[in-house]
Amino acid sequence: MSFSDWAERPYSSLSGLKPLVPGLALTAAIAAAALTIRSATGWMALSPLILSIILGMLIRNTVTLPQSVEPGIRFSLKRILRAGIILLGLQITASQILSLGGAAIVMVTLTLATTFVAMRLAGRLMGVDRQLTDLIAAGTSVCGASAIIAANTVVRGKEEHVAYAVACVTLFGSISMIAYPLLAAPLGLDERAYGLWSGATIHEVAQVVAASFQAGDVAGQFGTVSKLARVVLLAPLVMTLAFAMRSNTTEGQRVKAPMPWFVLGFIAIMLANSVIAIPADISRNIVTLTNFLLAMALAAMGLQANIGKLRAEGWRPLALGAFGWIFIAAFGYAALKLFGF
């Protein structure tokens, strides 16, 4: 049985779990280290997901890992990842999204969809690998690293593709986090409009929070909620990617793309969270658990990413990331004005 098979088979006994322990222990240790670093620095914009993939890559490219860790790493890439994405639904309620108002929801949706399509077209024109293009487009248009790893369950890009895409959204999202507060006044944006613009166009949730609250509490609240609206749209985007890949044909053969049923779990959990009041302390613990599980998945990605292969991807994907960064900011601002904000 291959290592990848271990991640797919059911585990009905302790003996079936035993081969997973070394790899799970490694990815869990990396995730714990990432969360500890963020807690120790006190900088909440420092994403543990990004730290995890960086730490994983450092280990992968400096240490020879034993074969015994491979089953657990594969398991983290598959089941742990899906569990984390499903639990993301507990951080969002339907009432939060609806509080934005119809015009804002349409603006956010239009910006996301147009950016994703524009980046796919640009990637094709620039000669960027299709899988890498989809991952950078998902990370830019939706919600950074979380969107990249969710989209990769369908896209099935190489670990180096995931690492490159995460690097792109980290770089350009960090620039936005610093630049956006400086642009609010010159662009004539009040707190509400600035918050919507930040939430609709900045890559990572933590980056949105860091950028939007600099303009005040109203801006921070609208920024956070509009960003959560983009997170909700992760589910239909991943499903659309899956259906699109299944409808494609290569040399007469229909492409076999996995159907990401776990995103339905994400939607179900979000709807349940909308009607059931979860105590604040439990909610905080769930957020921590979700971040931990997703950090484990990113650690596993990093543990399989070769820096040499990452460098070999060249400058074109980085240029695509830059294009997407400029496009989503400009289009989001234009949409903001179009809808009267």
- What is the residue whose two structure tokens read 């020879």? 64
Distance CA 282, CA 26 (A): 27
Q: Using alpha carbons only, give the angle 229, 151, 223 rounded to the nearest 5 degrees.
A: 20
- Strands of the chain, DSSP E: 249-250, 253-254
Cβ(163)–Cβ(318) below 8 Å: no
What sign does the CA torsion over 96, 101, 105, 108 have?
A: negative
pLDDT in tens, 87-100: 888 888 888 888 88
Tokens of 220: 């921070």
- Burial state string for 167-183 with b = 16 or more CB within 10 A and e = fewer than 16: bbbbebbbebbeebbeb
Q: Which amino acid is at 170?
A: T
- Residue 93's closest CA among 274, 235, 283? 274
pLDDT at 246 over 70: no
Q: Which amino acid is at 52?
A: S
pLDDT at 251 over 70: no
Burial-class residue 12 by CB neighbours within 10 Å (0-12, 13-18, 19+). Answer: exposed
CA–CA distance from 49 to each of 53, 113, 120, 134 (Å)? 7, 24, 25, 19
Q: How confident is the model at residue 7 (pLDDT cuts 50, 70, 90)?
A: very low
Distance CA 54, CA 85 (A): 20
- What is the residue whose two structure tokens read 């690998």? 129
Cβ(281)–Cβ(101) below 8 Å: no
Cβ(81)–Cβ(154) below 8 Å: no
Tokens of 116: 């994703």
pLDDT of residue 282: 87
89: left (phi over 0), alpha (psi -120 to 50) or beta: alpha
Distance CA 262, CA 100 (A): 27
pLDDT of residue 298: 83
pLDDT at 59 over 50: yes
The predicted model gives 133-148 an average pLDDT of 90
Q: What contacts 298, CB < 8 A, 6 or more positions away?
A: 31, 49, 50, 52, 53, 56, 145, 149, 166
pLDDT in tens, 279-318: 888 888 888 898 899 889 888 888 877 777 767 778 899 9
Distance CA 229, CA 97 (A): 6
pLDDT at 9 over 90: no
Distance CA 311, CA 338 (A): 41
Q: How confident is the model at residue 8 (pLDDT cuts 50, 70, 90)?
A: very low
Distance CA 55, CA 166 (A): 13
Query: Per mean pLDDT, which of 12-16, 174-178, 259-263 is the most reliable?
Result: 174-178
pLDDT in tens, 163-210: 889 888 888 988 898 899 999 999 999 999 999 999 999 988 878 888
pLDDT of residue 189: 93
Phi and psi torsions of 158, nearest 5°:
-70, 160
pLDDT of residue 258: 57
Say which residue, 63 or 259, is predicted with more confidence.
63
pTM: 0.77
Cβ(233)–Cβ(207) below 8 Å: no
Burial-class residue 165 by CB neighbours within 10 Å (0-12, 13-18, 19+). Answer: buried
